[in-house]
Copies of this chain bind each other. A is one copy, B any other.
Amino acid sequence: MRAGFIGLGAMGKPMAINLHKAGLLGSIWNRTAAVAAGLAGELGCVQANDPGALAAVSDLVVICVSGDDDVLEMVDAIGPCLDAGAIVIDCSTVSAKTAREAARRLASFDVGFLDCPVSGGTEGARAGSLSIMAGGDADDLTRARPVLEAMGRTIVHMGPVGAGQATKATNQIMVAGINQAVSEALAFAQAHDLPMDRLLTALSGGAAGNWFLSHRGPTMVRGEYPLGFKVDLHQKDLQICADMAAEYGVRLPIIEMTRHHYTRLLAAEHGDEDISSLFRIKSELFRDGET
């Protein structure tokens, strides 16, 4: 199997390197050509001139880009150049609707599509230990499995095309709520002058225990917000979640409240910090006596 990889960002680059290590990577393409040139030189793989040229020499293409429009643009560029029976795996985080539209466009070329958003951050991408939430046809998933297993450790088939993105959106909503929970509670504790290290010990082992408290709590209580997961990326994902809820005529309170808070963080130029910097806003409530 010759795989092509489109989108060599913070996640895509280490994922492409893992495909190369597994002997599956043929060619790569990136909008900023210098990045692809650098990696092609490093790995000894082919830098394609454009997405279509990459598709022409691949029987599987992995896409890992930023937005819904980017995904559809790439799909339109590679669809006509892929052989019938090829498969496209989209690891970007976009809406389920975009996933279904991408699958529809590729189906006209008899090309399969899997939406496979990932979780586990850049560390997971480097280690090849990502959690991959897959949507699409079971046979396509079986054929794509060697590629997915080169990039991730947990691969869960969630249903038809779009189900992977719906699962990722669910994950992002839950992370938003837990961020709200942890940052609000820690701000309350800080205002009451509690010893924060001991607090983390007392709370981590009980019913309030969670990954975010264990991994971000120790830096939050020092007022540090190293990456992690950027505020501006989570904000983009929550826009997707809000749009997906709006299709049901629903506005969800955790999503809306977190978007409101992130907008304030972005305005204060904290968009490049880890999302745990929500603690700034909750702490300010106590400092300023706002309501």
Residues of chain B lying within 8 A (CB to CB) of residue A202:
131, 133, 154, 156, 158, 167, 171
Mask, A104-128, CB within 8 Å of B = 1, is 0000000000000001110000000
Is the CB of A74 closer than 8 A to any CB of chain B? Answer: no
Segment among A21-29, A36-44, A136-144, A188-196 that sits at the interface with chain B: A188-196
Tell me whether A177 and B185 are in contact (CB under 8 A). yes
Q: Taking CB as reference atom, which chain B residue is nearest A254?
A: B184
Q: Is the interface of A mostly helix, strand, loop or mixed?
A: helix
Chain B residues positioned under 8 Å from A60 (CB to CB): none
**With A206-B131, A245-B188 in contact, is A158–B211 under 8 Å at CB?**
no
The quantity of this chain's copies bound in the complex is 2
A206 touches B285 (CB 8 A): no
* Category for how many chain A residues contact B: 35 or more
Do the beta carbons of A182 and B189 come within 8 Å of each other?
no
Residues of B within 8 A of A194 (CB): 158-159, 163, 166-167, 170
Q: Quick check: A191 and B248 within 8 Å, CB to CB?
A: yes
A250 within 8 A of B: yes
Please give me the residue from chain B that is nearest to A156 by CB atom. Answer: B202
- A77 contact set on B, CB distance < 8 A: none
Identify 24 residue pairs between A and B in the complex whose beta-carbon atoms are under 8 Å apart, listed by A's number: A131-B205, A158-B194, A158-B195, A158-B198, A159-B194, A159-B195, A163-B192, A167-B202, A170-B188, A171-B202, A171-B203, A171-B206, A173-B184, A174-B182, A174-B208, A178-B181, A178-B210, A180-B181, A184-B252, A185-B254, A206-B211, A207-B212, A209-B210, A250-B286
